[in-house]
Amino acid sequence: MKRSFLFLQGPSTPFFARLADRLRREGHAVHRINFCAGDALYWGGRRSWWFGHDTSRLREYLDDKYRRYGITDQVLFGDRRPVHRPAVEHGEACGVRTHVFEEGYFRPWWVTLEREGVNGHSLLPRDPDWFREAGARLAETPQAVEFFSPFHTRAIHDVAYHVAGLANPVLFPRYRTHAGVTAPVEYAGYVRRFAWLRAIRRREQRRAREMLASGLPYYLLPLQLNTDAQVRDHSRFGHMGEVIEHVLESFARHAPHDTRILVKNHPLDMGLMNFGRIIGDCERRFDIRGRVDYLEQGDTTAFVSHAHGVVTVNSTVGMIALELGTPTLTLSDPIYNLPGLASQLPLDAFWRNPVPPDQAFFARFRRCVMHATQLNGGFYCSTGIALAVENGARVLGAQRSPLEALA
């Protein structure tokens, strides 16, 4: 059954354009709305519409396109962008199916594709018994085709997207980015931080080895990016500084006195917030000097596997912890916040009762999530994009989503 796809904003790579080309070759109609110069750059010379108005007029604009061009499906990256929220809401009201791409729930060779929403808006059931029953019917997930996606490739795409954005004041004067910081501030932060990381690499490696070799019981708090929509839109915290203060205060009051806590920074943090200073201030205020370790670098998987427990907002590190059998507590409500997987205790009680996840249940949960939402592929390197296009086109062209077929 041939469909009419409307592409909205995608990742700052050629992925959406190549996916659209694939759908056209299969006989589907494809349309595109560009919201900024970066969108236009990565769409290439393909036909498109340019939306130059304020987002308050987007619903009306979409309604016209839906009707005139018989749009059956819309494709977008990230369901929380300001230019996507009206589309998700209005598309549902108009009977248009929404397909949302996002970074993978499992990394590094997977991306997420769900209908109507991802993460906190995922249509995955929140019933543990459903996962146990459905997961028992599924075979093990096939081995992923592995590929190498270097950071510099992603960085080149990002820079190209933002350089194109210099034309926004002329071509798209009303466009406002969803990013929390401007590109110059972001890049300056990365330059400073990566230079600093090179300078302290050996020191951090030594400290990490000493931490793991000490055998001392510790909890792990992996930090997420302040710009992450999972923090901004799917948690009660405004930034990771608030998370650190909340967790360390609870740790000071309720954790066993012979335990420590390791705060591990995100590898792609821009360095715009001084977490070391925040942690030092919390150590003094909560009287836990000598019980907190802060590392900028290190093997997160190794830290998780040796930890007494992991506390996270909604990071994919939580998935790693569950897979390794490490007790995990989430401070929001990600898809893995289920009884039998993540701890359902309050944070204050978790420190003294970190119960490991049910490994058999996690195996079935993982099979369901992989089958229903994950595609082998990536958004940034050529091999990853080719895989994501092949697997994405197959799911987009199906009448039922993998989750609907499973249910």
**What digits encode the pLDDT tens for the residues 254-279?**
999 999 999 999 998 999 999 999 99
Domain boundaries, the chain: 4-159+370-406, 203-364
In this predicted structure, the answer to whether residue 111 has a pLDDT above a threshold of 90 is: yes
pLDDT on residue 69: 97
CATH number of 203-364, picked from 3.40.50.970, 3.30.70.1150, 3.40.630.30, 3.40.50.2000: 3.40.50.2000
Instruction: Check residue 145 and report its DSSP letter.
Output: P
Name, in order, each residue with C-beta under 8 angstroms of 367's C-beta and a sequence gap of 6 or more.
Answer: 135, 138, 139, 140, 141
Confidence of residue 232 (pLDDT cuts 50, 70, 90): confident
CATH class of 4-159+370-406: alpha beta
pLDDT on residue 230: 79
pLDDT on residue 273: 94
Work out the burial of residue 124: count CB atoms within 10 Å of its CB; fewer than 13 is exposed, 13-18 middle, 19 or more buried: buried
In this predicted structure, the answer to whether residue 229 has a pLDDT above a threshold of 90 is: no
Lowest mean pLDDT among 95-109, 182-196, 328-342: 182-196
Query: Comparing 4-159+370-406 with 203-364, is the CATH topology the same?
Result: yes
Q: State the Cα torsion 239-337-218-295 to the nearest 10°.
A: -40
Per residue in 384-400, pLDDT (tens digit) is: 999 999 999 999 999 99
Which pairs count as long-range contacts for 24-32, CB under 8 Å and 24+ apart, including other chains?
Answer: 26/393, 26/397, 27/2, 28/2, 28/3, 28/4, 28/397, 29/2, 29/3, 29/4, 29/5, 29/69, 29/70, 30/4, 30/5, 31/4, 31/5, 31/6, 31/7, 31/65, 31/69, 31/71, 32/6, 32/7
Q: Is pTM beyond 0.85 here?
A: yes
pLDDT on residue 187: 83
Average pLDDT over residues 193-221: 94
Confidence of residue 407 (pLDDT cuts 50, 70, 90): confident
In this predicted structure, the answer to whether residue 210 has a pLDDT above a threshold of 90 is: yes
pLDDT averaged over the chain? Answer: 95
pLDDT on residue 186: 84
